[in-house]
């Protein structure tokens, strides 16, 4: 057990799997697979495994996605890191091929392939055209493609291990807002389910559901609400597809109030799916969602932060739902 950052935890999981499987490959552009954390050895996959297995490509996200899909079909585990601005470029490859090949072959084709999709565009300081506010919904919509969005280094490591070992392709979303997060993470290899949400706090008055880069603000809001005497249950989705409907329904069946929070556009955000699934199974509940407005994010950091859901927005919506 040692304190590790989000990306160090991810690369530690990958490093172990690559040491066990000499055929496993990592494909990247621009962002080298290097990470450090205090008191632990620097991880540099390119230095350790060489350029035949850790390949720095040209700037072509479609080729990167196709390359790891081909590797998977040939029997090799493969991971590719798609940086922000490029996450939409490979969509067609994932939608038309990654999501369908297992089905087209009657389950005969094993696809142990992971697409790490960087969501740096959810932070201020970028021009609007570089925003990544939409990609969680885009990729969660593809049948046959598991879509996960861990919010802690511990979950990031365990879910990466599970994703690499899964015979289905996995979209592994990670938000840049989580980059500075550091926590105690086990050194040994372990698996975290790709179909289970995590209950972060238990309560009986209100259920708040969030995911990914939005979770720090959700937990901050919950802490403030609890300090005011409310009993709040916080659920971290972790998995957008398959979604853990059972945990959601059980929680809202108890609290009868559901607030969803998304670092995603309001229309068709993951929270909309959460509300729909719960509404089909729970009678008499009240619902509300908080998300990024349906507008292109501005270049102005001040305006951007005003639009992005924060703890004050979340707490205010929660009080309206309970009041």
Residues belonging to the active site: 61, 130
Q: Do residues 260 and 289 lie in contact, with contact meaning Cβ atoms separated by under 8 Å?
A: yes
Distance CA 165, CA 134 (A): 27
Cα–Cα dist 123/184, whole Å: 25
Rounded Cα distance between 255 and 24, Å, is: 46
Radius of gyration of the chain (CA): 19
| Residue 304 host element (H or E) | helix 301-307
Q: Please, are residues 83 and 30 in contact by the beta-carbon 8 Å criterion? A: yes
- Tokens representing residue 238 in the block: 């972790």
Residue written as tokens 């990466």?
160
Distance of alpha carbon 213 from alpha carbon 262, whole angstroms: 9
CA distances 301 to 48, 113, 122, 125, 127, Å, are: 39, 36, 11, 5, 10
Let me know how long the chain is.
323
Contacts of 260 by beta carbon, 8 Å cutoff, 6+ apart:
208, 209, 210, 269, 270, 271, 272, 274, 275, 287, 288, 289, 290, 291
Contact call for residues 307 and 292 (beta carbons, < 8 A):
yes
Distance CA 90, CA 97 (A): 11
Determine the 3-state secondary structure of 262 from DSSP.
strand
């Amino acid at each position: 057990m040692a304190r590790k950052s989000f990306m160090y935890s991810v690369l530690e999981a990958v490093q172990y799997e690559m040491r066990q499987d000499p055929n496993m490959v990592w494909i990247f552009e621009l962002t080298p697979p290097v990470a450090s954390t205090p008191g632990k050895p620097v991880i540099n996959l390119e230095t350790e495994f060489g350029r035949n297995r850790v390949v720095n490509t040209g700037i072509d996200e479609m080729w990167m996605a196709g390359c790891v899909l081909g590797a998977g079909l040939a029997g090799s585990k493969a991971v590719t890191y798609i940086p922000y601005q490029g996450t939409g470029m490979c969509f067609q490859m994932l939608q038309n091929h990654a999501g369908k090949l297992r089905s087209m072959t009657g389950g005969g084709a094993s696809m142990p392939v992971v697409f790490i999709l960087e969501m740096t565009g959810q932070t201020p300081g970028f021009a609007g055209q570089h925003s990544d506010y939409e990609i969680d919904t885009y990729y969660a919509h593809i049948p046959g493609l598991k879509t996960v969005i861990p919010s802690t280094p511990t979950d990031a490591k365990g879910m990466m291990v599970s994703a690499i070992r899964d015979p289905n392709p996995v979209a592994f979303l990670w938000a840049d807002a989580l980059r500075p997060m550091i926590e105690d993470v086990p050194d040994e290899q372990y698996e975290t389910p790709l179909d289970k949400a995590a209950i972060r706090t238990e309560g009986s008055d209100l259920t708040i559901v969030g995911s990914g880069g939005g979770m720090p603000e959700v937990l901050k809001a919950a802490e403030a609400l609890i300090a005011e005497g409310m009993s709040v249950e916080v659920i971290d989705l972790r998995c957008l597809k398959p979604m853990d409907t059972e945990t959601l329904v059980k929680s809202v069946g108890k609290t009868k109030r559901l607030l969803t929070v998304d670092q995603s556009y309001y229309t068709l955000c993951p929270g909309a799916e959460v509300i729909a699934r719960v509404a089909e199974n729970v009678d008499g509940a009240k619902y509300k969602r908080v998300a990024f407005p349906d507008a292109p994010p501005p270049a102005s950091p001040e305006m951007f932060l005003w639009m992005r859901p924060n703890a004050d927005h979340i707490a205010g919506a929660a009080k309206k739902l309970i009041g």
